[in-house]
Copies of this chain bind each other. A is one copy, B any other.
Amino acid sequence: MLFSSEFLIRFSHCDPAGIVYFANFFDMINAVVEDWFSQALGTPFQSLHADRNVSFPVVSTQCEFSSPCRLGDKLALELSVAHLGQSSLTLTIRGRVAREEKLRARHTIAMISLDSYRAVAIPEDLRARIGAYVEEAPAPG
C-alpha cells in the first residue's frame, strides 16, 4: 500500500535560481511522514509525544533530485516502507509533479524514548498498522 500527500510549491520554497531550495524538500519529506502517522497510522506526532513519550528522529536520509520543482508545482510524495525493524523503519519516498519524477528518497527513522533518548521497540499495535505499507518483494522469476 502507498500513502500519498500533495505539497504546493510556494514562493518561500524557491531560491534565487527560481527552483526549490533542496533543504525544503526534506521539510516536505518530514511532512508526508507526519501525515502518514496522523492520517493512516492513527497516531499523530502530538499523541506519540504526549501519550507515549516517544519520538521518531531521523537516523539517516538519502535523496536523489532528478529534476527541479518550480513555484506553483504540485508535488505528490508517495511513501511506502522498505524495511521495518525492531525500533526503526526505512521509508521509500518518491516525488512526482504530474507524471515527472522529481526526487526519490530513502529515509530511516527510529522510535526513541523521550526520557532516555534511546531506541525502544515499536509497540505491536503501531507495528501492525505500519505493516500494511511494507513494500512487497517482487515475485520470484
A interface list, Cβ under 8 A from B: 10-12, 14-19, 21-24, 26-27, 30-31, 34, 38, 44-46, 49, 55, 57-65, 68, 70-72, 114, 117
- Flag if A55 contacts B17 (CB, 8 Å): yes
**Given contacts A16-B11, A16-B14, A23-B23, is CB(A63)–CB(B61) below 8 Å?**
yes
A1 to B31, CA, bound (A): 32
Besides A14-B16, A15-B15, 19 new A-B residue pairs in contact (Cβ under 8 A), listed by A number: A10-B34, A11-B30, A11-B45, A12-B27, A12-B30, A12-B31, A15-B16, A16-B18, A21-B30, A22-B26, A22-B57, A23-B23, A23-B26, A26-B26, A45-B72, A49-B71, A58-B65, A59-B64, A60-B65
- Flag if B72 contacts A46 (CB, 8 Å): yes
A-B contact pairs, 26 of them (CB 8 A): A10-B34, A11-B15, A11-B21, A11-B34, A12-B30, A14-B15, A16-B16, A16-B49, A17-B57, A19-B57, A21-B30, A22-B30, A22-B58, A22-B61, A23-B24, A23-B26, A23-B27, A26-B26, A44-B71, A46-B70, A46-B71, A46-B72, A59-B64, A60-B63, A60-B65, A61-B62
> Hey, which chain B residues are within 8 Å of A22, CB to CB?
26, 30, 57-58, 61
A53 to chain B, nearest CB (A): 11
